[in-house]
Amino acid sequence: MIIDSHGHFTTAPPALGSWRERQLRAFEESGARVSPDELHITDDEIKNAVEQGQLKLQLERGTDLGLFSPGAGKMAHHYGDEHTSLDWSRVSNDLIARVCGLFPGRFVGVCQLPQSPGDALPASVRNSVTELERCVEESDFVGCLLNPDPSDGYWQAPPLTDRVYYPLYEKLVELDVPAMVHVAMSRNPALQGTCAHYLNGDTAVFMQLCMSDLFTDFPDLKLILPHGGGAVPYHWGRYRGVMQDQGRPPLEEAVLRNVYFDTCVYHRRGMQLLVDVIPAGNILFASEMIGAVRGVDPETGHRFDDTTYLLDSLDTLGDTDRRAVYGGNALRVFGRLAGVLKNVESNYPKEAGK
Amino acid sequence: MIIDSHGHFTTAPPALGSWRERQLRAFEESGARVSPDELHITDDEIKNAVEQGQLKLQLERGTDLGLFSPGAGKMAHHYGDEHTSLDWSRVSNDLIARVCGLFPGRFVGVCQLPQSPGDALPASVRNSVTELERCVEESDFVGCLLNPDPSDGYWQAPPLTDRVYYPLYEKLVELDVPAMVHVAMSRNPALQGTCAHYLNGDTAVFMQLCMSDLFTDFPDLKLILPHGGGAVPYHWGRYRGVMQDQGRPPLEEAVLRNVYFDTCVYHRRGMQLLVDVIPAGNILFASEMIGAVRGVDPETGHRFDDTTYLLDSLDTLGDTDRRAVYGGNALRVFGRLAGVLKNVESNYPKEAGK
């Protein structure tokens, strides 16, 4: 079974974006709220968006299941206040739940959290706990996105290892749900989004984790660093050396029991480095589709984000490791996933039999 | 000839740090200035610091020459005002000039610039032009460090492609001097310095350059991205794909005519990726010593930052490319270096004969 652990609903029907615009404009102009009930999207609109987008690519590439979250950049946590983020998260997550319901066994939900920067941070963490629980218990979501920079490009929040986030980590562990650490948009003209802020977020958080004892406090917490872990595998020696210089435990002990890297690396040599450096048990297959890069690589004739093609082209990954990367690890890291799939199978036996 | 294009005077005599502390305290308390003349360091103190540090490692590793700059983290451009940064730059650069004078043919200077964030940015760029010219013309410096985040961890400045920096680029081209893009310290608790902010700075600026037409305006400008270019070579496919998606020219055309990557990557597989992905003509040998990582890698028995060992262990780098990476490229990129070395040789024939 091939599980794509990182995909976003970047092709959502335009009504979603219009609702968000109305929400932000109303709040800016008068502090007013726009009700989530004012969003109207039909099942056919959702089906069309997914069938022409993510599902089409799933079928082309032979992947079985996508762990599916709202558009990451669109989370844009810096807008409005914590109530703004809460409404927007509910709207976005409910749409993901509808996708999962319309395509049972094809998509399972990963939720956005209603984070907010600045003074609203503690309240927004409490709201995140509530929204996470709602998505997991009511809609069978199996993971969440956790933004390490809710200021969206100015790094105004404390590190993810700060105690302000501990209520969220307690809930993640209790529910057996991992968080994918994923920044949202960048509103900083110095930091482009997908090729700078995204990768920098991954790199920054890895180092936060290296320098903290978060996993001593939460030995069962599981975090995923997307985009191949930013700069981390390429600079693995630097991290090993700094840990040693500072008298910290080795990376295997300090972070690799709790941290996973996805395979969103869009060329063969980069992918080779990832599987050479990071233990296979810490790698989750993912494509980030439809996401940062959409075109076809003229050097290969495959889309840049067709990471099945890249992984299959590596001859150093043995069969056992390959199965772990493609699906076995995801079933372990997303602790509720097997149960959710079993439930889908009993409700929709044909779909699950694919 | 082996030229290490990235080294810092991180072992400077303690009097330098004490002067800086007095400078910052006086400014904070009363806006007063501390004269650069109040710094007293003897030649013997300098010799001792270098002979026990960078020179010792140079001799051990068989490198011939270090391009030598002040401690990058210590530049700390966010403190005080533009006058604070100017005094501190002069003090730091004059100390580098003394090192180069005491060890002719062993070290050639790369200067720090008196940058400042916020409203002081334009004035600080003008001061940078003056200080660059002073270092190059009076002390035979051949390069400079350019900080893309003078706010030191909060990314408050415009991208390096902004026109506010154009006077500096005009001077760099006029003098035939490259800039190494190098952040200073991070005062942001979310962004550790050497393993997060440093790498993120490299990655962020690469993307700034990809998305701009800076090199159309300055076809002869040469910029160096240290630390192996941050996350860039590992994500080369992502950058190729985004350039194609956005209808921009290919990377070879858009950036590789003007941008160079150094070899500060501290494990063999990372180094292999660098030389596999980046054309040899765009790679400059460097170790960043004595810098981010100081210990010995127990897996190799060599120091993590002994990048000669790592480069020599790669069997895919041919002799011609190896010579280019080790020194030929540096002589081309640092356009004044050959002349400076010739001058040293005629003044100190024995030293230069090493």
What does the H/E/C string look like for B233-299?
HHHHHHHHHHHHHCCCCCHHHHCCCCEEEECCCCCHHHHHHHHHHCCHHHEECCCCCCCCCCCECCC
State the average pLDDT over residues B240-248: 98
Q: What is the mean pLDDT of chain A?
A: 96
ipTM: 0.97
Partner residue opposite A234 with nearest CB, options B154, B155, B228: B228
| DSSP bridge pairs for B3 | B65
For residue A168, the surrounding DSSP H or E stretch is helix A166-175
Q: What pLDDT is stored for residue B346 in this prediction?
A: 87
Q: What is the dihedral of CA A264, A270, A275, A279, to 10 degrees?
A: -80
Q: What is the 3-state secondary structure (H, E, C) of A124-146?
A: HHHHHHHHHHHHHHHHCCCEEEE
Which is catalytic among the residues A38, A45, A131, A288?
A: A288
Q: Report yes or no: A140 and A96 within 8 Å, Cβ to Cβ.
A: no
Residue A194 forms contact with B (CB below 8 Å): yes
Confidence check: pLDDT of B230 > 50: yes
CA distance B93 to chain A (A): 28
Residue A297 forms contact with B (CB below 8 Å): yes
Query: Which domains are delineated in chain B?
Result: 3-352 (3.20.20.140)
Q: What pLDDT is stored for residue B354 in this prediction?
A: 39
Residue B10 forms contact with A (CB below 8 Å): no
The dihedral of CA B131, B132, B138, B139: what is its sign?
positive
Q: What pLDDT is stored for residue A270 in this prediction?
A: 98
Residue A40 forms contact with B (CB below 8 Å): no
3-class secondary-structure state, position B53: coil
Interface of A with B in 198-237 (CB under 8 A): 199-200, 203-204, 206-208, 210-211, 227-228, 230-231, 233-237
Q: Report yes or no: A62 and A354 within 8 Å, Cβ to Cβ.
A: no
CA angle A283, A285, A291 (to 5 degrees): 120
For residue A284, the surrounding DSSP H or E stretch is strand A283-284
Confidence check: pLDDT of B54 > 80: yes
Residue A289 forms contact with B (CB below 8 Å): no
Name the DSSP class of A321.
Answer: H
For residue B7, the surrounding DSSP H or E stretch is strand B3-9
Which residue in the block uniquely carries the two structure tokens 């709040």? A27
Confidence check: pLDDT of A265 > 50: yes
Specify whether A351 is catalytic: no
Higher-pLDDT residue of B108 and B352 is: B108
Tens digit of each residue's pLDDT (9 = 90 or more) over B286-345: 999 998 899 999 999 999 999 999 999 999 999 999 999 999 999 999 999 999 999 998
- Write the single-letter amino acid at A156: Q
For helices B82-102 and B43-51, give the axis angle rounded to 10 degrees. 80
State the average pLDDT over residues A234-262: 98
Confidence check: pLDDT of A353 > 80: no
pTM tops 0.95: yes
Which residues are within 8 A (CB) of B271 and not within 5 positions of it... i.e. 6 or more apart?
A: B228, B263, B265, B307, B310, B311, B314
d(CA B345, CA B39): 31
| B235 with A228: Cβ contact below 8 A | yes
